[in-house]
């Protein structure tokens, strides 16, 4: 895969290159394909198990393509006190979107995050990297509707 090869070549000399390479691949592709593990291992003279260990240790890495919209819902204490658990349940029960998964229509990937520094205005989330606060059921429904209306790349 050309992207993986280019990233490995560009960053292989960086000290502790495995993590920066994984981040760069995810930044470019949205996820780290399984077959990238072998190429990274070869490029860094590591075992596949070592690279796989780094890839699976950090929950930020995805190994499958994400949905068109990525929602990172805060599950830390302050947001829990402000109702994030009910929002997570609503996403699951009303919209069929499970935490840690991508919806069947590929519209949304829902991931947990632990404190976005927006505690006083929680429940909070990052929606495609944009901070959103004061979430409630209606705002979550609107968010899902907007994401489902968003078209994928042709
Ligand atoms: S606990 Fe959710 S933003 Fe801090």
pLDDT digit string (tens) for 69-116?
A: 999 999 999 999 999 999 999 999 999 999 999 999 999 999 999 999
> Cα(77) to centroid of ligand 1, in Å?
7
Backbone angles phi, psi at 129, to 5 degrees: 85, -5
- Residue 50's pLDDT is 97
CATH class of 69-149: alpha beta
Bond prior to 65 in cis (omega within 30° of 0):
no
Where in the sequence of the chain do the CATH 3.40.30.10 domains occur?
A: 69-149
Cβ(76) to ligand 1 under 6 A?
yes
Cβ(131) to ligand 1 under 6 A?
no
> Cα(55) to centroid of ligand 1, in Å?
25
> Cα(106) to centroid of ligand 1, in Å?
27
- Residue 154's pLDDT is 43
Q: Tell me the pTM.
A: 0.84
């Amino acid at each position: 895969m050309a992207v993986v090869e280019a990233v490995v070549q560009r960053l292989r000399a960086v000290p502790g290159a495995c993590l920066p390479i994984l981040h760069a691949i995810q930044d470019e592709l949205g996820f780290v394909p399984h077959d990238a593990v072998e190429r990274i291992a070869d490029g860094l003279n590591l075992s596949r198990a070592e690279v796989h260990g780094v890839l699976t240790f950090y929950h930020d890495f995805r190994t499958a393509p994400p949905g068109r919209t990525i929602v990172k819902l805060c599950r830390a204490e302050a947001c829990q006190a402000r109702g994030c658990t009910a929002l997570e349940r609503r996403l699951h029960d009303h919209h069929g979107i499970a935490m840690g998964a991508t919806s069947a229509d590929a519209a949304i990937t829902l991931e947990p995050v632990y404190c976005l520094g927006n505690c006083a205005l929680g429940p909070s989330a990052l929606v495609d990297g944009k901070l959103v606060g004061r979430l409630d059921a209606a705002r979550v429904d609107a968010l899902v509707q907007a994401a489902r209306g968003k078209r994928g790349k042709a």
